[in-house]
Amino acid sequence: MSFNETDIVNVVIAGTAGQGVISLKRLIEFAAQKAGVEIILGAEQHGLAQREGAIISHTRYQKKATGDPRKNLNSSLICYGDADLYICIEPVESLRRGIFASNKTTFVLNERTIPPILITADLEKYPSLEKIKEILNGFSKEVYTMNATELSLKEFNRNQQANIIMLGFAIPTGKIPFIDIEYYEEVIKEWLKDPDDNIKALHLGLNKGKEIIHKKKK
């Protein structure tokens, strides 16, 4: 689907504490500002930011405001079923936050799992990646996965670039409209440490996304 300029764009970013969920949200919002987006309003989760907790952020924007306040973006939280895109830096977090998904949702998933402590303790079960995909397919057929953590470790010798790789991977879905790559690059240069690595990570993800999403869409 393509977006009209007055449509509200809804992106869920889910992961676990320390995976860069909030950074990714900020990156999209700052890039959207550069792209001249008129309304941006999204909620992020602070407080229990470390400590292995489940983290979600709601990224929402509207390229052009309408004259009618009833038709504009009014809430920083996405409505149930209304997400256009899920960027999941940890696979099972897509299911935990699934209530915002519907048949219009595209999912991009990092395959690297962070098992909660009760999984390690063998007191609960972590579903297989196949099972997760099967459930997500019940929402929508648009489910794409890659191992961004592995790629980050391979390319940068650390896992921190996985979130930016996932952003790059999500861009070819077309579900973060009106924001050109250049704007992300500008924001990365202005705000992030190691801008060269992060821009490289963005493109690594982008290329992977083009390859996989293009192939599937054929």
Partner 1 sequence: MPKKDTRFSDEKGKVLMLGNEAVVRGCLEAGVSYASQYPGTPTSDIGEYFHQILRENPEVKEYLVHHWAVNEAVATSACAGAAWTGCRSLNPMKHVGLNVASDALSVIALAGPNPGAMVIVVGADPGSLGSHQEQNERFYTWMLHLPCLEPHTPQECKDYTKLAFELSEKYDTVFEVRTSTRSAHSRGYVELGELKKGKAKGEFIRNIPKFNSLPPHSINNHVRLYERIEKIRELAPELGVNKIIPGDNKIGIITSGMPFGYTMEALDQLGLDHVPVLKLGMIYPLNYGEISKFLRDLEKVIIIEELEPFLEVKVSEITQHHKLNVEVIGQEYFPKYNEYSTGLVATSLAKIFDKTPSEQVTKAIDYFNSYKEIVPSRFPTFCAGCPERVTLYSILKATNQLENTVICGDIGCYVMSFFPPQECSDLVICMSGGLSAAIGMSTKSEQKIIAMIGDSTFFHTGMAPLAEAVGYNSNVLLIIFENSWTAMTGHQDDVLRYLIRRGFSIENICRALGVPWLRIEDSYNPKKLTRTIEEALEAKGLKVIIIKRECGLQAHRWRMSQIKDLKAQGQKVQEVAYNITGCQVCHECSRILSCPAIRRTKIDGRETMQIDDDRCIRCGVCYQICPNGAIHKSIIHALETEVPFREL
Q: Where does this chain bind partner 1 (CB under 8 A)?
A: 16-17, 25-26, 29-30, 33, 39-54, 69-71, 74-82, 92-93, 95-96, 98-102, 104, 115-127, 131, 135, 138-139, 153, 158-159, 189-191
Q: Taking the complex as a whole, how short is the minimal distance between the CB of residue 84 and partner 1, in angstroms? A: 12
In sequence order, what are the residues at sequence separation of 6 or more whose Cβ sits closer than 8 angstroms to the Cβ of residue 56?
12, 13, 14, 21, 45, 93, 97
What SS3 state is found at 73? coil
Closer residue to partner 1, CB minimum distance, 8 or 166: 8
Phi, psi angles (nearest 5°) of residue 215: -60, -45
Task: Identify which of residues 150 and 181 has a Cβ nearer to partner 1 in the complex.
Answer: 150
Output 147 or 159, the one with its CB closest to partner 1: 159
What is the Cα 100 distance to its own chain's centre?
A: 13
CB of 210 to partner 1, least distance (A): 28
Query: Angle at the Cα of 10 (from 101 to 148), degrees rounded to 5?
Result: 75
Q: Which CB, 158 or 216, lies closer to partner 1?
A: 158
| Residue 15, φ and ψ in degrees, nearest 5 | 180, -160
Following DSSP, what letter does each residue of 134-160 receive, concatenated? Answer: HHHHHH-S-EEEE-HHHHHHHHHSSST
- Smallest gap from Cβ 18 to partner 1, in A, equals 9
Shortest reach from residue 208's CB to partner 1, in Å: 21
Q: What token pair was written down for 95?
A: 């299911």
71 vs 216, which CB is nearer to partner 1? 71
Q: Does the CA dihedral 190-193-195-198 come out positive or negative? A: negative
Shortest distance, position 58 Cβ to partner 1, whole Å: 8
User: Least distance in Å: CB of 211 to partner 1?
Assistant: 27
Nearer to partner 1, 78 or 109 (CB): 78
Question: And the tokens for 168?
Answer: 């790059």
